[in-house]
Amino acid sequence: MPDRILVTGASGFIAAHAILELLDHGYEVRGTLRDLSKAEHIRAVLGQYNHKASTIEFVSATLTDRNCWNAAVHGCDGIFHLASPVPIEQPRDPDELVIPARQGALNVLRAAQLAGIKRVVMTSSVYAVIYHANAESRKQTGNDWTDLSTPGLTPYAISKTVAEQAARDFAETADGIELVTVLPSLVLDPALEPDYGSSLEALLLLLNGSYPLLPKLGFAIVDVRDVASLLRIAYEAPEAAGQRLICSSDFRWFVDISKQLVNEFPDYKKQLPTRQIPNALVKVLARFDKVIAYILSDLDRVIEYDCTPAESLGWRPRSAEEAISAGARSLIELGLV
């Protein structure tokens, strides 16, 4: 019998691609949803890409409800823990993200231990890595951790760091649990439906002409299909046990992303910004705009990553250009821009 994998947060952007990856490789899938009324819609969307989507089982579960998880994991062989709050706008109170992220991770791991499930693969983020004194001096590795005392940390960065640390602390003392964490950089690639979550928001804002000028801001990019493949590899590879696997491809400034989109989608040339705003002016604007205020710590910052541990398991990422192109094309084809 094929392994049955529990995918938490099954309505999410990464989760949808992870489910397709699992179905493509012969696994059975059970997904958790806060609202089971979404189940048929998800089956229908994923069914356009894999006919086995009709076999996906869904169960109701909430991150902060400890009592629901024993039933959710029952009969499963492994877990992809992907459920975690990912806001488009950062809340004023970090606990709005930190509490559900931390409690959810611990609730899933406790249930896995009781059920005798050995391998749990959890998505974290490079935000749990990059905020410390030496981040720009060398490639970041799985040994690096965000320093929670760093000024200006976003609630999202705090939540990813706290949740992963709590999960690792639990796994180190829990008998029988092998925790692997996968840490993506900025995740792009095709949306499967109009309700794509927050991952493609940056491309949408560029294509919609929301910003006439761009801050000197850039990120390393990873294709969501490559995140999904690494999640599967992390489950299958015995040597992945206990590892933090960073998954990233190339670094791109937002202005260069916009210039790529101008070349590939000339109909949107008028909306797409190709000039940068001086950092000094961004800092002035940040006094009046909380969204801008949250990017100040990333201005003019280039972070590189060591993905050797993931690559040693056989993982090979697509280029940033391919992820950017596919993501933008999907937004256009879905009529979102």
* Closest of 120, 95, 263, 118 to residue 182, by C-alpha: 120
- Active-site position among 160, 259, 283, 290: 160
Sheet holding 119-123, edge to edge: 57-60, 28-33, 4-8, 78-81, 119-123, 178-184, 244-247
How far apart are alpha carbons 223 and 325 in whole angstroms? 10
C-alpha–C-alpha distance, residues 289 and 284, integer Å: 9
Residues ≥6 apart with Cβ < 8 Å to 284: none
Among 119, 116, 104, smallest CA distance to 32 is for: 104
Structure token digits, residue 131:
């905020």
Residues in Cβ contact with 198 at an 8 Å cutoff, skipping those fewer than 6 apart: 13, 86, 87, 88
CA dist 97 and 117 (Å) reads 27
Q: Is 160 a catalytic residue?
A: yes
Contact 163, 179 (CB under 8 A): no
Look at residues 155, 189, 205 and name the one whose alpha carbon lies nearest to residue 327. Answer: 189
SS (H, E, C) 206-275: HHCCCCCCECCCEEEEEEHHHHHHHHHHHHHCHHHCCCEEEECCCEEEHHHHHHHHHHHCHHHCCCCCCC
* 320-333 and 254-264 helices, crossing angle to 10°: 60
Q: Which residues are catalytic?
A: 160
